[in-house]
Structure 1
Amino acid sequence: MFSIHSLALDLSSYNSNNHPHYQLLTEEKVREMIESAYPNPLSLPDIAATTCSNQEDVERLVTDLCAKGVARLTDLGQVKRVSQMPKVIRSQQPTVAIITAQFCEKLAVDAMIDNKDTYVRYKGEGESNVYTLGTIGQHRVVATKLPAVGNSRSAMIAAGNTTTRLLGTFQHVEYVFLVGIGGGVPHYTDYHQHVRLGDIVVSTSPRRNHLGHNGHNGHNGNNSQKLPTRSDFIYVHCEKLRSSPDEPMNASNSSWKELQTVDSFNYRFWCPLSLELQDIARQIYHESQDDVGGEPSWERYIEEARHRLQESDDLEFIRPAENTDKLYMSIGTNDVIEMAHPEPDPQDVLDEQTDPRKRGMPKIHFGAVGSGRLAVGNEQLRQDIALKFGIKAFDIEFDTVIESIFGNRKDRYIIIRGIADYKDGSRKKEWQPFAALSAAAYMKAILCRLEPIAD
């Protein structure tokens, strides 16, 4: 174990005057470097090398910062900023949790939060969780980024554990939002069903998509509309079944891969016990459709956040050029052809007037969200599964996250995906920032309509 105190003593006889190219550091300078590197740690030799300073001085100053609680040494001997989370009084406890998985998603969500503060909560073995607390509308919220998401066992465990810690730390959370990017399910002939890059998919029960809409659905005093039935679901995870004892589970390179059909998978379904968030999501959309010529609230939030994020040099949150949205259709095992995107009926004047894509804004879709590595990797299989279950988007396997939400008895949750590609959201990097921003904006629109929880 690295000991900064013992190392400082061992170097006490070192005379920096013998090395005139070294310069004396100040505590403020070291603290500034640690702050700038956050949330990443810095090694002490790197600090010394970057500033052309004596490492003994770096050791001494870092020791002082650690003693003041400003910085912390990791198990690897690196130094990291500490912003310890204060005890939050009952009236300031967040009632909304927002979970993201990628850096651009967290930036987009943070841009929607007012009066925000970011804190680090340390666990054992150098593990830490970063939480951003603040307000959206009338709600106190907490946002975090998962350390890893994916199909590896370690990523699944980490994602589920982070969610469990989040909900254990903030026990007054009543609503959970999973916000970020995903892969759209295209429709090659129907403009209304076609999900394009930059669009938004809101996780709702496909069964309810065919019930017709009521502008006050779920808010007309009839609470039964918020309650799901046994046939409702908003998230589907596809896991490959073994067709023989010798076949490895989910083996993408096996000889069984080409024999996959929709029936080759085991499907797991999730649905919140209350559909309150889903009903609000539909309501604000239908109200915007009725207000022809008006600006939907989420489009305004996109513009406001984009201006805020211009100050960041990390990512560009602008909508990419239209010609980067290429659509391909599978015509065989490994063959695809490029397709034109379906257009609205030219005789339908309302479609032409209300198409948000023509003004560089996302179109909103409602349906289930799916996941599963093998389902996403096979284009035809992906389309078949989406058609069977009413899936509008796929993401990178959040099943352990949703299972944790369910296990922590959170009855109201929703998944919002901005579309970045036609797979699972992880492929087309240039669309990810705008897609994440769009999803975060629709999240804010829902929260601004959601009534606060009565004390």
Structure 2
Amino acid sequence: MPLTLETMPLTLESYQVGWICALSVEAELAELMLDKTHDLIPLPARDENIYTFGQIDVNGQGGSHNIVIARLPSAETGTAAAATVAKDMLRTFTNLKFGLMVGIAGGIWSPEVDVRLGDVVVGAPDDNGPGVVQYDHGKYIQGKEFVHRGILDKAPKVLRTAVSVAKQVRRRKTFLSHLDDEDVKELAPRPTDDILFEAAYAHPDGARSCAGCEVQRKKDRPERRDPVPLVHYGAIASGNGVVKDALFADDVRRKHGILCFEMEAAGLDNFPCLVIRGISDYADTHKNDDWHAYAASTAAAYAKELLRVVPLTAISQLPSIGNKHWLVPRPSTPLFTGRESVLQKMKDHLVRRSDDNRERPIFVCCGMGGSGKSETAIKFVEKNRNSFWGIFWVNADTQDTAKQGFAEIASACSISNTSIEDVKSWLANKDSPWLLVLDNCDTMNKDYSSYFPSEQNGSIIMTTRLPECKSYGLSDDMHKLGPEASSSLLLRACGDKYQDRERHKDAAANVVKLVDELAIALVHAGAYIRRGFCTLQEFPQRFHTQKEHIILFRPNQMASRYGSVYTTFEISAEALSASGDKYDRLALTLLRILAFLDHEGVEEDIFKRALEYCQVLNQNPETCPHVFEELAEADTDVPCDVQPSQLVLEEHGPAHGARVKISVPREMDSLFQKKPRSSTAVVPTENPFVATVDEEPATGQKSCPVS
């Protein structure tokens, strides 16, 4: 039989709608709304979600939407659990166009909006405002009330259009018909009692039901002639706690105009979706589980009817949500600490809402080398990966590295021409949200706007040591990490012996003050202590001794603003040099070699080839005598007693002036000139001395052996 659209095997890319439920009963009723279920499809190993696959037929179009349904893990609720499920769903189903969050909520009755048990609340206010308000996210200001700040972006336009269609009277009858299914009625029968008590009247402690509650404290409400559920459209309050306080709930209603409370939607800021909730209680102390199943069924029935009116063509024309292109050089260090306020500031500025008509947002991370600018940029993209269709990283250290970065974008995105201008033009014409990171913008008097695509779409991050670059956009000065975060980073770098933060806080504070809260120096110090060369309490004395030595013999280094970095690095280098362990000595030799290599081009492949070459030399020393002569000459160029930081030129170093010359044997030179077999090889390490901070203290060439 020839393959057609109906007979072709389904793949993960076949599913365009993601439906998330928090509770098992919600997921079971969602599955009952499917017109057809599909066979399971193997998932990537990293995805721990459990999915149901199926389809919902579209009204009068002879086609269907392929739906994937996920539920939160048992006994896990709240924004964090929802965010984790959505993240895995987006990574697995790369062709998703939008999502639905469907389940139960605690409603708030008012004379203005007659919300009853079993009704449905849709997060699509008539005033076109935000559909979800995070009521427990904000800030406290002295002398003022708590200021709420969290909102979820409006639902995708195609869903808001479908909502307007679903409001039609004839659609209401169709929506109700989905509740007549025998399986649905068996799983979710409608309870009879819908009782609302006065807000100030609390449920008796220990009572399992409201049988003993005072009848005279019931709220007077008009009788409904028809007991069928109604659909309300307005804002939904989301937070991490179960609300069982009618007075608090009414206060939030009056401030924000919300109609119900739930616990997951605020975690879906990277998952464009519409929130649909069935009312199972009144957010008071009288809440129970009696209405859970029925409320879940009404929400699921509305979601089905909504999808039935979304045209197939409307979905096919939408861009996929989530991240499709991920060109980021490495993961963030496991030691990353602090910068919460900067990360939030970046998110508020760079993540664009659906109705965002601003000029392109640009964020500039400005600070000393080693302050963690690039690490913060990497941490930001990791936390907000699914907010951007594409995240592209370019090392703007030199024109050549920038050309290479844009060429890598072209290769990954199948752009035929690889020039900077061609890639910029491609980005300028992309409607999907993208983020371009321009790292190491450290060349004075260079116009970095030449790397910006035209038009105003997309977002850009710049990392730089140059204050003048702050004129490109919103910026943050990142010179110091802050006392609390600095102590935390230091103790984490020191290892397991220093997990008792309270016990070691005073000793940590002394070291933090010595190194002036600079991230790279804190990591150096912590690595030295973790290796057992001294204790945290003893480190200040080692620091002062080394500092006096540098002042005496290398005053220019100590006079620079990177004096604390030179000192902590020299302490570690001295320890390796004095060690009787041959591997410590080899490590120091390796660091000297790395000082002459650009940090972006050091591949694992280089060392594999070097090892293979050395094995050949050892087996056949008589065939290549000149190699050993050249090795001896190279060894005299960089004596063993030369300290690594002496290879770093003062303040600006090789990145801005002459480079240190080192002889390399002709055969070994080919090891570094030969194109690596893999351009993406990464050597992961947990040793902070070798690889935790992405910037060298004084040069763009990273002569300091910290990649």
Q: Do Structure 1 and Structure 2 share a fold, with TM-score over 0.5?
A: yes
Residues 1:264 and 2:161 aligned together: no
Query: How big is each residue's C-alpha offset from its partner over 1:412-449, in whole Å with a ceiling of 9 and x where there is no partner?
Result: x2110000001199942110111000000000111110
Decide whether aligned partners of structure 1 residues 368 and 447 sit closer, same or farther in structure 2, where only a CA change above 3 A counts: same
2:195 is the counterpart of 1:326:
yes
The change in CA–CA distance for 1:330 and 1:169 in structure 2 (over 3 A counts) is same
Please point out which of 140, 145, 166 is paired with 1:284. Answer: 166
One-letter code of the match for 1:394?
F
CA 1:295–1:372 in structure 2 vs 1: closer, same or farther (change >3 Å)? Answer: closer
Query: CA shift at 1:202, angstroms?
Result: 0.6
In 2, are the aligned partners of 1:118 and 1:133 still within 8 Å (CA)?
Answer: yes
Alignment match of 2:254 (pick from 354, 379, 387)? 387
Give me the identity figure in percent.
24
- Partner Cα distance (1:150, 1:379) in 2: 24
Structure 1 position 169 matched with structure 2 position 89:
no
- Counterpart in the other structure of 1:74: none
1:11-30 alpha-carbon deviations (Å, 9 max, x no partner): xxxxxxxxxxxxxxxxxxxx
| CA deviation string 1:111-153 (max 9, x = no partner) | 011221364866769x8321111110221111110116767xx
SS in structure 2 of the partner of residue 376 of structure 1? coil
* Correspondence for 1:404 among 261, 270, 282: 270
Match among 340, 362, 365 for residue 232 of structure 2 = 365
Gaps of 5+ in 2: 1-7, 58-63, 205-213, 318-707
Q: After superposition, where does 1:7-406 map in structure 2 within 5 Å?
A: 88-89=10-11, 93-117=14-38, 119=40, 128-137=48-57, 138-147=64-73, 156-187=79-110, 190=111, 193-205=113-125, 207-208=127-128, 232-239=129-136, 263-272=145-154, 274-285=156-167, 287-288=168-169, 296-304=173-181, 307-309=182-184, 316-321=187-192, 323=193, 325-331=194-200, 338-343=217-222, 358-372=225-239, 376-400=243-267, 402-405=268-271
Structure 1 residue 334, shift from structure 2 partner: 9.4
Assess, with a 3 A threshold, how the Cα gap between structure 1 residues 330 and 272 changes in structure 2: closer, same or farther: closer
Q: Distance in 1 between matches of 2:74 and 2:159?
A: 26
Which of 280, 284, 289 is matched with 1:429 structurally? 289
Answer whether contact 1:181 1:395 (CA < 8 A) is retained: yes
Shift of 1:376: 2.7
CA displacement 1:377-428 (0-9 Å, x = unmatched): 432221121122121111124322x1231xxxx4xx2110000001199942
1:12-70 Cα deviation digits (max 9, x unpaired) = xxxxxxxxxxxxxxxxxxxxxxxxxxxxxxxxxxxxxxxxxxxxxxxxxxxxxxxxxxx
The separation in 2 between residues aligned to 1:425 and 1:118, in whole angstroms, is 43
Alpha-carbon distance between aligned partners in 2 of 1:243 and 1:157, rounded to the nearest angstrom: 22
Counterpart AA for 1:386: R
Amino acid at match of 1:430: D
Is residue 96–residue 175 contact of structure 1 (8 Å, CA) maintained in 2?
yes
Distance 1:173 1:179 in 2: 17
Amino acid of the residue matched to residue 97 of structure 1? G
Q: Give the letter for the 2:67 counterpart.
A: V
Which secondary structure does the structure 1 equivalent of 2:291 belong to? helix
Tell me which moved more, 422-431 or 132-141.
422-431
Give, in angstroms, the shift of residue 375 of structure 1.
Answer: 8.7
CA distance 1:341–1:450, change in 2 (3 Å) = farther
Report the alpha carbon displacement of residue 330 of structure 1 after superposing the two structures with TM.
2.5
Unpaired segments of 5 or more residues in structure 1? 1-85, 209-231, 246-258, 345-354
Specify the code of the residue in structure 2 equivalent to 1:384.
D
Q: CA deviation at 1:277?
A: 1.2
CA distance in 2, matches of 1:93, 1:120: 11
* Distance of 1:165 and 1:424 partners within structure 2: 34
Q: Any idea what SS the aligned residue of 2:99 has?
A: strand
The RMSD of aligned alpha carbons is 3.6
Q: Secondary structure at the match of 1:104?
A: helix
After superposition, the Cα gap between the structure-2 partners of 1:388 and 1:96, relative to the gap in structure 1 and judged at 3 Å, is same
CA gap 1:196/1:242 in 2 versus in 1, 3 angstroms = same
Provide the rounded CA distance (Å) in 1 between the counterparts of 2:76 and 2:263: 6
Q: Is the 8 A contact 2:38 2:53 kept in 1?
A: yes
What CA distance in whole angstroms lies between the structure 2 residues aligned with 1:396 and 1:308? 28
1:367 Cα shift? Answer: 0.3
**Counterparts of 2:158 and 2:44, CA distance in 1:** 34
Asked which structure has the greater CA Rg, the reply is 2
Structure 1 residues 123, 374: CA separation in 2 closer, same or farther (over 3 Å shift)? same
Equivalenced residue count is: 292
**SS of match in other structure, 1:128:** coil
Q: Any conservation in 2 of the 1:183–1:394 contact (CA below 8 Å)?
A: yes
TM-score under structure 2 length normalisation: 0.37
Call closer, same or farther: CA 1:144–1:196 in 2, change over 3 Å: same
**1 or 2, which has the higher strand percentage?**
1
Report the TM-score, using the length of structure 1 for normalisation. 0.57
The structure showing larger relative contact order (alpha-carbon pairs under 8 Å, at least 6 residues apart) is 1
Deviation, structure 1 residue 160: 1.5
Other structure's SS at 2:197 match: strand
SS in 1 for 2:270: helix
Answer yes or no: is the 8 Å Cα contact 1:419–1:425 preserved in 2.
no
Q: Which secondary structure state, in structure 2, belongs to the residue aligned with residue 420 of structure 1? A: strand
